[in-house]
Amino acid sequence: MIQYIIRRLIHTVFVVLAISLIVFFSIRLTGDPVAIMFQAGEPTKEAIEEVRENLGLNEPLIVQYGIFMKQLITFDLGESFRSGLPVSTMIAERMGPTVLLALGGILVAILIAFPVGILSAVKRGTAVDFFGRIFSLLGISFPNFWLGIMLIIVFAVQLQWFPASGYDGWKSLVLPSIALGMILSGILARLVRSSMLEILNQQYISTAKSKGIKDWVVIIRHAFRNALIPTTTFLGIQFGSLLGGTVIIEQVFSWPGVGRMIIDAINQRDYPVIQGGVIVLAMLMILVNLIVDLSYSFLDPRIKVGGSDK
């Protein structure tokens, strides 16, 4: 197990190296940060040249990459062109709201999808199943932009239960979490339903039933617990990608998360923030994947991570 973890961590180094190469060169192909720094008043050629020089953008690309890698090895992600702050500080500032929103979204998704998915599977082919499936389809097909705006119109403008925007107390977390959770719950409910169905057909379920164990005990303890494995994978990976920020939700609800920061940075071509942000997120994603893999052995003792042939 320890060996396995170490091997995975070594992989990480290579992945980060590859990502740094791709990000570094691809953002430099799509335009220059300097011209748009002068949004309020258009610059002369000399001004553009001078700022470029001072930001170190006139160095050959390979030299710039060398400097970037040298910093990266010492865990220094550089400073933002726009804010002048260390990129690591900026990411740290944003991680809190992002994690909170990711957890909120997943919680809402679980609260909706587990009952819906289980019911659909158990009552397969009935009206309950039908509505359950329609519901997941809706969840999958709602554009989250539209859903966010609808939630704002209903719950913020009409009913005035929750604020429409901001990052200020638990109330402001409710609407973005619902918007995010609704989207997630569609896929999740389908996943729960199909894995439940698969397991309900297994022999041990019939065995358990024939032993006279109560139906709902069978469903929850035997079927649902085993159905949790694919669900956990899905949620784990979703959580990983949610840490990358849910750009649209963050935008609609003015949530100060990582996704908005990186999108702003891309629009402004704030190279250090894009590079640093993407690399940190990639590392988080790898870490989350590792944790998901490890969690299997807790959910199902038969699974052994590290891959002996047993």
**Residue ranges that bind other proteins, judged by CB under 8 A:** 30-32, 34-48, 50-51, 54-55, 80, 82-85, 90, 93, 111, 115, 119, 122-123, 128, 149, 152-153, 156-168, 171, 209, 214-216, 219, 251-254, 256, 260-261, 264, 267, 269
Of 46 and 309, CB closest to other proteins: 46
Of 163 and 240, CB closest to other proteins: 163
The sign one gets for the Cα dihedral 145, 151, 152, 157 is positive
Minimum CB separation of residue 103 from other proteins in Å reads: 17
Q: For the purposes of burial, counting CB atoms within 10 Å of the CB of 49, is it exposed (0-12), middle (13-18) or buried (19 or more)?
A: middle
Of 17 and 206, CB closest to other proteins: 206
Minimum CB separation of residue 181 from other proteins in Å reads: 13
Of 254 and 297, CB closest to other proteins: 254
Of 240 and 259, CB closest to other proteins: 259
Minimum CB separation of residue 68 from other proteins in Å reads: 18
Minimum CB separation of residue 101 from other proteins in Å reads: 13
Of 219 and 279, CB closest to other proteins: 219
Minimum CB separation of residue 76 from other proteins in Å reads: 15
In angstroms, the CA 183 to CA 106 distance is: 10
Of 188 and 290, CB closest to other proteins: 188
Minimum CB separation of residue 61 from other proteins in Å reads: 15
Minimum CB separation of residue 96 from other proteins in Å reads: 11
DSSP the chain: -HHHHHHHHHHHHHHHHHHHHHHHHHHHHS--SSGGGGTTSPPPHHHHHHHHHHTTTTS-HHHHHHHHHHHHHTT---B-TTT-SBHHHHHHHHHHHHHHHHHHHHHHHHHHHHHHHHHHHHTTTSHHHHHHHHHHHHHHHS-HHHHHHHHIIIIIIIS--S-SS-S-STHHHHHHHHHHHHHHHHHHHHHHHHHHHHHHTSHHHHHHHHTT--HHHIIIIIIIHHHHHHHHHHHHHHHHHHHT--HHHHHHTT---HHHHHHHHHHHT-HHHHHHHHHHHHHHHHHHHHHHHHHHHHH-TT--TT----
